Amino acid sequence: MRDERELGRVIGRGVQTVAPPSDLLAGVTRRRRRRARRQMVFTAAAVVMVVAGSSLAFWREAPRVGVQPVPSVDQQWPEAVVKLPVSSADGKKYRPVAALGATRILVAVESGVRRIERLEIFDTVTRSFRVLGTTPQATTARFEVGASSVAWSGPGGELWVMPLSGGTARRVGTARGEVGALSVTPTHLVWSHALTGVYRVPLDGGKTEEISDSLRLQAWPWAVSFVDGNPAMLHDLESGRRIKIDTASSSHVRCVPRWCIGLRSGALAVWRPDGSGLRFLAGSNKIGDILDGRFAISHPPRESVVLDLESGRTGVIRASSDFGLGWSYSTPTVVYWGREAGDQEFSLLNLLAVR
């Protein structure tokens, strides 16, 4: 029998025979360490991706810093929004014409289709009406307010004036065609037809005088000349001053001496006539106006945005089936909405009351 020492030698030789070489063991160890490191990297990367993904999702859903909802006009200018009755005491419909100040609104009373029966003044403080007088031949829905008179044109171009203090309307001349623009000065009525030509007649009546055959009246003393359908120059008919209008890359442009409004890059924008001060109105509306020389407004269908170009404040008017601007020839001073069927009152923004 083999003694214990021989058995130990046999076992030792067996172990040496089956044991892997030392470099193999080192390689296995290195591979295991690499796998462990890769697993740690993959795990860390997965954690980073999850965290980053969560962060991205958060920032996508969070509102942009500094962006606030646009308030309604009655929230932005509560002192300037009032309610008016839809109808007069005798059941005829009221239509706003213009603001006469912070607390008085000139309204027309309709007695039928294309028929204005009389003019009244609504006091927003006392909520009372005062009749100015009847309006013969007032078949259009546009009037123009001067310092002491209100004027309009009849179906044959007849020109009429009425004192703002009230009284009888007087015919002062004939425009010989449809009136497209009308202004009241202290001494004259001034007008243009639908295209070009500026004319005037004394408020007391008399001979019609042509001021220009190539310009179109905007609001006295300003007239405008056009090139390719866009306004090109503003002309002061009293002083002779001229303002060149920058309409580059623009369409559907309308201008007053201090501002223009139109489409730029497919969006509604306002800018100075020289091209400076460009601003875009919020929303997707494509039609707008300059009101009272100070406010830009976009028209529905969805909603109307009013921008005060002096203060930068903005208010919104929700869409209404009866949204409208004041019935005046020059830039309107009132905006109204909310005359739905069955309503007893409608809302009106008086731009002359905005502080």
Round to the nearest angstrom and report the end-to-end CA distance of the chain.
121
User: pLDDT confidence of 88, banded at 50, 70, 90?
Assistant: very high
Residue 307 pLDDT > 70, yes or no? yes
| CA atoms within 13 Å, Cβ hemisphere of 338 | 16
Residue 76 pLDDT > 60, yes or no? yes
- Which pLDDT does position 69 carry in this prediction? 80
Residue 5 pLDDT > 50, yes or no? no
Residue 65 pLDDT > 80, yes or no? no
- Which pLDDT does position 196 carry in this prediction? 84
pLDDT in tens, 194-237: 878 999 999 999 999 999 999 999 999 999 999 988 899 999 99
**Alpha-carbon 244 to chain mean position:** 24
* Dihedral sign from CA coordinates of 115, 146, 272, 247: positive
pLDDT, greater one: 10 or 258:
258
User: pLDDT confidence of 321, banded at 50, 70, 90?
Assistant: low
- Which pLDDT does position 10 carry in this prediction? 36
Within 8 A by CB and 6+ apart from 256, the residues are 218, 219, 222, 290, 293, 331
- Which pLDDT does position 320 carry in this prediction? 65
Q: What is the mean pLDDT of the chain?
A: 81
Q: By percentage, how much of the chain surpasses pLDDT 90?
A: 59
Find the mean pLDDT for residues 130-146: 85
- Token pair for residue 168? 């009888």
d(C-alpha 355, C-alpha 47), whole Å: 56
| CA atoms within 13 Å, Cβ hemisphere of 83 | 4
pLDDT in tens, 259-272: 999 998 889 999 99
Domains of the chain: 73-244+321-353 (2.120.10)
- Which pLDDT does position 323 carry in this prediction? 87
User: pLDDT confidence of 281, banded at 50, 70, 90?
Assistant: confident
Residue 181 pLDDT > 80, yes or no? yes
- Which pLDDT does position 139 carry in this prediction? 65
Write down the pTM of the prediction.
Answer: 0.77
Residue 16 pLDDT > 60, yes or no? no
